[in-house]
A and B are shown apart, each in its own frame.
Chain A
């Protein structure tokens, strides 16, 4: 079974830039996997940030951006703010109606 991989944790200074990645245990991620990204703070439902690799969901600030970097999908936060401290999840579409979540990345802003 294919595993979607994410870094377990990251830290960034306020105002800094951080890039998370979303990969596959076997193979490369492309836009054909329709990568999407979700932000979740403790006790809250996820919030959709990015879909179809790089399209921002309504109301999402432009400091969040999505891309393909090498063989992985990536989420970049430019000018990190304190309230960006959250868990971030990617989802890849595997075809045949199957979606797989990555394990999530915990972002600390300090």
Chain B
């Protein structure tokens, strides 16, 4: 059974870079039909897609975050990562990683990590 697990610092200082990793087990990140995505949720608010990456390195980003976001993949470790630069208090959120099936006939998130809360504070 596929499992995704987020890891990284739970506290980041304002103006610094948030860095998270998602470890995938029970399946290969080199799947030919899947992307791997990041979604976040500020406390008490809705979900927001951040970006998705394929094992080839092909990426798609939310236009509203694109200037600050980098998603990368490490196939040797079966992991993918998120970097969000110049963080502010508005970036405080639970960050989820998810498997993103995106192909000719569908686009949806079909498996989710449990999420990790990241707080931005000095």
Q: Which residues of A are at the interface with B, using a C-beta cutoff of 8 A? A: 1, 34, 36, 38, 40, 45-48, 51-52, 57, 89, 91, 93, 96-104
The answer to whether residues A45 and B115 also contact, given A51-B110, A57-B110, A101-B47 and a CB cut-off of 8 A, is yes
Q: Which residues of B are at the interface with A, using a C-beta cutoff of 8 A? A: 37, 39, 46-49, 52, 60, 62-64, 96, 100-102, 105-115
Give A91 to B113 CA distance when docked, in angstroms: 18
Q: Chain B interface mostly helix, strand, loop or mixed?
A: strand
B108 engages A45 (CB within 8 Å) = no
Q: Chain A interface mostly helix, strand, loop or mixed?
A: strand
Minimum CB–CB distance for A55 against chain B, Å: 8
- Count of chain A to chain B residue pairs whose CB atoms are closer than 8 Å in the complex: 66
Minimum CB–CB distance for A44 against chain B, Å: 8
A100 engages B49 (CB within 8 Å) = yes
Q: Knowing that A34-B105, A98-B62 are A-B contacts, what are 20 other residue pairs whose CB atoms are under 8 Å apart, sorted by A's residue number?
A: A1-B64, A36-B108, A45-B96, A45-B112, A45-B114, A45-B115, A46-B39, A46-B96, A51-B106, A52-B105, A89-B46, A89-B47, A91-B107, A93-B102, A93-B107, A98-B60, A101-B39, A101-B49, A104-B46, A104-B47
